[in-house]
Structure 1
Amino acid sequence: MAAGLNTERDANLSQSEVEKTLADFDPVKKPKRNKFAFACAILASMTSILLGYDIGVMSGANIYIQDDLKITDLQVAFLVGTLNLYSLVGSAAAGRTSDWIGRRYTIVVAGAVFFLGALLMGFATNYAFLMVGRFVAGIGVGYALMIAPVYTAEVSPASSRGFLTSFPEVFINAGILLGYVSNYAFSKLPTNLGWRFMLGIGAVPSVFLALVVLGMPESPRWLVMQGRLGDARKVLDRTSDSKEESQQRLSDIKEAAGIPEDCNDDVVRVQKQSHGEGVWKELLVHPTRSVRHILICGVGIHFFQQASGIDAVVLYSPRIFEKAGITSSNDILLATVAVGFTKTVFILVATFLLDRIGRRPLLLSSVGGMVLSLTALGFGLTMIDHSHEKLSWAVALSIAMVLAYVAFFSIGMGPITWVYSSEIFPLRLRAQGTSMGVAINRVTSGVISTTFILLYKAISIGGSFFLFAGIAMVAWVFFFACYPETRGRTLEDMEVLFGNFIKWRSALKDAHKKGINGESDGQVQMGTNA
């Protein structure tokens, strides 16, 4: 009987072992999207709606401003383009401000400054007054552009970081669409009131944003840099996919901040560089090989995003459609709404692909499509320019290529710029490194948007888009050669991808082989000990 009991027990044991073994081979379930991190990302990214609204609304408002204030084309160009240059002040200050008062309160500062700028523009009585309002609004835009992707990247778990850090671009596009709709809605008012309502109404969302952001948690990485480990642990527990991931993220952040692993105090003493001291020297004067590669990638992607002509298309779409042969102002404004709608739809598609397909495939496909659509747009506009009769096919081609261009831009180049630049910099350099990328972005955008009218008068409007196509082609080669895939990596693990420039693939393969060999050696050692 005892033998029978032993046999039954052995059978149960072997059955449980089999079940356990089978469980080990079950596919790993993808963690559910963290709703709290999702909410934080949305609220932070909504700050970017301020820039989008300004871009969209100014594309139509500048026509009415020129009629009302009797200003020249050159003054219009400065009015439209200089906000991007003014935003340099905000983006340069935002890096230091966010290290000083925190990421969350920096978002509040962005909303407050833009609110003041929008009011000044809405009540402007002359060109000089309007430019003062543009300057103040530009500072707010600079703050918003830098801080939204940084905060979102630092709060997001690795499994959905691409999805969440693409939100700033989503809201830029939503803002552009709102700006276009505002143009159409207020265009029926008298000229002297219409453009003031278009610009002044932008103050409304900034108040809402500043109040809502106060309910968000602070960035866990900023809290660790201040030595507030207890507070950081609470935020990570709420924004991670699991308890284990929360502990791992905290451990990685502590290592990056120079805090010993065994230190579990709620408040610890952290080196002075937590407020940004010495960071610029490490970035620009004595960078390591990996930091130099990261900096080139972070700055390069921001430069090419704007140098490929997106702001010229968005800001001057009414003029492009007019050159293409659309004569009715009502039809032109409706066509610009179509541009905004297309951008918004395709950026939403991109957010769901970033963590599934990866950054590199989307980026290269996007830029390749931009090259083709810019070339076709340049061809269509050139044919219209050199024809003495209306070419319906060229008009249709030009309109279709404007929509194709913004679609290709939005599915890759638009969101990936913000995702990539916010995730590749090491923790100690992230705020200032990102602010450098934003500064380059705004300078390039300012130059393109300020000089576009002069450019197309000098080399023709078709020639302008051939030029942008050439720049986009150079961008594709640069991205293909120098940009490694970052999908699925933790923020603290990014540096291993960089440092070998165009040879990053072979370096990554060598590191992977070493990792496999190391794992095999460990398994052999364990077997020997057993």
Structure 2
Amino acid sequence: MAGLNAEKDCNPSSQPPAEKTLADFDPPKKPKRNKFALVCAILASTTSILLGYDIGVMSGAAIYIKDQLKISDTQVEILVGMLNIYSLVGSAAAGRTSDWIGRRYTIVVAGGIFFVGALLMGFATNYAFLMVGRFVAGVGVGYGLMIAPVYTAEVSPASSRGFLTSLPDFFINAGILLGYVSNFAFSKLPAHLGWRFMLGIGAIPSFILAVIVLAMPESPRWLVLQGRLGEAKRVLDKTSNSKEEAQARLADIKVAAGIPQDCNDDVVQVVKKTHGEGVWRELLLHPTRSVRHILVCGIGIHFFQQASGVDAVVLYSPRIFEKAGITSDNGKLLATIAVGFVKTSFILVVTFLLDRVGRRSLLLSSLVGVIFSLAALGFSLTIIDHSHEKITWAVVLCITTVLTYVAFFSIGIGPVTWVYNSEIFPLRLRAQGASLGVAVNRVTSGVVSTTFISLYKGITIGGAFFLYMAIAMMAWIFIFIYLPETKGRTLENMEVLFGNFTEWRSALKESKLKERQESNGVETESNTQTQLAVSSVATTVA
């Protein structure tokens, strides 16, 4: 009997369930943010500074370029806006490049190309030479725009993916602010030197960033696709909140990549390496219903982000402030610095809300503020345009609504677009799918930025912003109907949300019910095994 008691003490399954304590009812502690993943995300996202700097610096440099090179308003439009069209080349190439050489080295390529472009613009002697430099810089910008969110999403744990994947947009806005500050700082130089320093100085951070990025690990999902499972496991161990999460993430990635679960780093030779072959066929020619829904969401959100007029406000803010009565160059440049400061501050705030509030709620609430800001901006500019004397309240309303517009844009539609597009595509389609979204983004941005001056001359500057307001209203309806919430889901578990278009809510309910049933099934099985063990011991004792 003593031996039996000893056996009962050593057998965990035979122990009676322990009494619950108050600690058992405490809510689970939120995992701490993984510092290694945070560093990787910051390093990758700093590439986005290059785009932001170019956008911000050109808004002020264009004032001096127009005077010195004696170019027309149409040429200014082309100079300012064509960077977005040129970046199509980079974003299209980046998808394939990142599948071939990896996400990390693609970021290095982005920095190197922009470095050459910045030097060419700084040493330009005429308009044609300047446009060549603009083209090269645009290709580098396209590379950076596509790869930074994809890399960040792939190294981030699900619990903090929203925060980390929003960092590229934060750095874009930080770059815009730096561009505005550069405008003001170098405006004190002689006219023929000031704009060259404004544009050429961008070569320095691009070189530094290209070198720093080499310290980053490669994306674990790309490593799995190449059959380098041992390396992928080591990266996941560092970028996950626990060993269990790392194992679960690796298992999910294997499933997404079509790799058997018993395949490990000792048998990687059985894994077929992939470099993105057949992806465009699966994306565009023969997409599944789920992929088709994902495409609609990814392309649609990128289109509406730019079509709501953000580049008209950011790139042409000096002209808007001139309309409002700020006529001195210093005054206009200081006002644009205020725009950059507000935009950057609010994007920093939203990075901490993405994993708490969710993508969908931020998008919808952001667009409400954008709509009202555009309405007020259009109204104030219309009043100013039709008045022969200065109307103080209209001027104050104009300046205020420019700031509220960039604030509301930066708490939702600005950063969330990049987060959402980087996480909804399946693993095998992610790089090319993300590049397609970036291409639409850049085309739309290019159209807005190259037509704004002509547009406001045709329908008045107030009418232009009323048009952007109408587009923002359509964006709110589109997002409300088609975009499901992705907060908290792993990248490999996204497809269950898509495929039903307007009926995604019912699919989400079914998914949650299935997860709950599976969880209850595991608990029931565990309880049954415990009861059987107890019954077996009781029978032995009897």
The answer to whether TM tops 0.5 is yes
Shorter-chain TM-score bucket reads over 0.9
Quick check: 1:310 aligned with 2:310?
yes
SS of the residue aligned with 2:71? coil
Distance 1:518 1:223, change over 3 A: closer
Partners of 2:189 and 2:122 in 1: CA distance: 14
Distance 1:166 1:521, change over 3 A: closer
Partners of 1:318 and 1:397 in 2: CA distance: 16
Aligned residue number for residue 34 of structure 2: 34
Aligned residue number for residue 154 of structure 2: 154
Render the CA deviation track for 1:88-112: whole Å, top value 9, x for unaligned: 0000000000000000000000000
Aligned residue number for residue 326 of structure 1: 326
Partners of 2:516 and 2:315 in 1: CA distance: 51
Shift of residue 512 of structure 1?
A: 2.4
Unaligned runs of 5+ residues in structure 1 are none
Alignment of 1:325-474 (within 5 A): 325-474=325-474
What's the RMSD between the two structures over aligned residues?
Answer: 1.8
Distance 1:242 1:525, change over 3 A: closer
Contact 2:377 2:465 (C-alpha < 8 Å) held by counterparts: yes
Counterpart AA for 1:375: A
Distance 1:496 1:331, change over 3 A: same
Shift of residue 389 of structure 1?
A: 1.0
- The number of aligned residues is 520
SS of the residue aligned with 2:470? helix
Shift of residue 264 of structure 1?
A: 1.3
SS of the residue aligned with 2:47? helix
Contact 2:346 2:411 (C-alpha < 8 Å) held by counterparts: yes
Contact 1:228 1:268 (C-alpha < 8 Å) held by counterparts: no
SS of the residue aligned with 1:31? coil
Aligned residue number for residue 45 of structure 2: 45
Aligned residue number for residue 191 of structure 1: 191
Partners of 2:474 and 2:29 in 1: CA distance: 41
Partners of 1:188 and 1:205 in 2: CA distance: 22
Aligned residue number for residue 209 of structure 1: 209
Distance 1:523 1:42, change over 3 A: closer
Contact 2:227 2:272 (C-alpha < 8 Å) held by counterparts: no
Counterpart AA for 2:241: D
Alignment of 1:69-108 (within 5 A): 69-108=69-108
Aligned residue number for residue 121 of structure 2: 121
Aligned residue number for residue 18 of structure 1: 19
Shift of residue 173 of structure 1?
A: 0.3
Contact 1:370 1:408 (C-alpha < 8 Å) held by counterparts: yes
Contact 2:315 2:449 (C-alpha < 8 Å) held by counterparts: yes
Contact 1:154 1:220 (C-alpha < 8 Å) held by counterparts: yes
Shift of residue 383 of structure 1?
A: 0.4
Distance 1:514 1:35, change over 3 A: closer
Render the CA deviation track for 1:165-194: whole Å, top value 9, x for unaligned: 000000000000000000000111111100
Partners of 2:149 and 2:498 in 1: CA distance: 21
Deviates more, 1:305-314 or 1:24-33: 24-33
Counterpart AA for 1:430: R
Shift of residue 62 of structure 1?
A: 0.4
Aligned residue number for residue 270 of structure 1: 271
Shift of residue 212 of structure 1?
A: 0.3
Contact 1:311 1:448 (C-alpha < 8 Å) held by counterparts: yes
Partners of 1:524 and 1:122 in 2: CA distance: 69
Distance 1:509 1:190, change over 3 A: same
Aligned residue number for residue 255 of structure 1: 255
Contact 1:80 1:450 (C-alpha < 8 Å) held by counterparts: yes
Contact 2:496 2:507 (C-alpha < 8 Å) held by counterparts: no
Unaligned runs of 5+ residues in structure 2 are 533-542
Regions of 4+ moved over 6 Å: 13-16
Aligned residue number for residue 296 of structure 2: 296
Shift of residue 25 of structure 1?
A: 2.2
SS of the residue aligned with 2:452? helix
Counterpart AA for 1:484: P
Partners of 2:211 and 2:145 in 1: CA distance: 18
Quick check: 1:223 aligned with 2:238?
no
Partners of 1:501 and 1:151 in 2: CA distance: 27
Aligned residue number for residue 245 of structure 1: 245
Shift of residue 85 of structure 1?
A: 0.2
Contact 1:290 1:498 (C-alpha < 8 Å) held by counterparts: yes
Aligned residue number for residue 476 of structure 1: 476
Shift of residue 328 of structure 1?
A: 1.6
Counterpart AA for 1:32: K
Distance 1:287 1:117, change over 3 A: same
Partners of 1:233 and 1:519 in 2: CA distance: 26
Contact 2:64 2:195 (C-alpha < 8 Å) held by counterparts: yes
Aligned residue number for residue 66 of structure 1: 66
Distance 1:57 1:436, change over 3 A: same
Quick check: 1:492 aligned with 2:492?
yes
Quick check: 1:172 aligned with 2:172?
yes
Shift of residue 18 of structure 1?
A: 2.4
Counterpart AA for 1:230: G
Partners of 2:513 and 2:163 in 1: CA distance: 30
Shift of residue 515 of structure 1?
A: 3.6
SS of the residue aligned with 1:17? coil
TM-score by length of 2: 0.93
Partners of 1:116 and 1:519 in 2: CA distance: 55
SS of the residue aligned with 1:18? coil
Distance 1:397 1:30, change over 3 A: same
Shift of residue 523 of structure 1?
A: 5.1
SS of the residue aligned with 1:276? coil
Partners of 2:129 and 2:350 in 1: CA distance: 40
Counterpart AA for 2:151: Y
Percent of aligned positions that are identical: 76
TM-score by length of 1: 0.95
Partners of 1:344 and 1:132 in 2: CA distance: 30
Render the CA deviation track for 1:425-473: whole Å, top value 9, x for unaligned: 0000000000000000000000100010000000000000000000000
Partners of 1:304 and 1:94 in 2: CA distance: 23
Contact 2:33 2:241 (C-alpha < 8 Å) held by counterparts: yes
Contact 2:115 2:202 (C-alpha < 8 Å) held by counterparts: yes
Contact 1:298 1:420 (C-alpha < 8 Å) held by counterparts: yes
Contact 1:83 1:135 (C-alpha < 8 Å) held by counterparts: yes
Shift of residue 30 of structure 1?
A: 0.8
SS of the residue aligned with 1:33? coil
Aligned residue number for residue 537 of structure 2: none
Partners of 2:53 and 2:408 in 1: CA distance: 21
Partners of 1:290 and 1:62 in 2: CA distance: 44
Shift of residue 326 of structure 1?
A: 1.1
SS of the residue aligned with 2:260? coil
Distance 1:523 1:356, change over 3 A: closer
Contact 1:229 1:268 (C-alpha < 8 Å) held by counterparts: no
Partners of 1:204 and 1:316 in 2: CA distance: 26
Distance 1:525 1:115, change over 3 A: closer
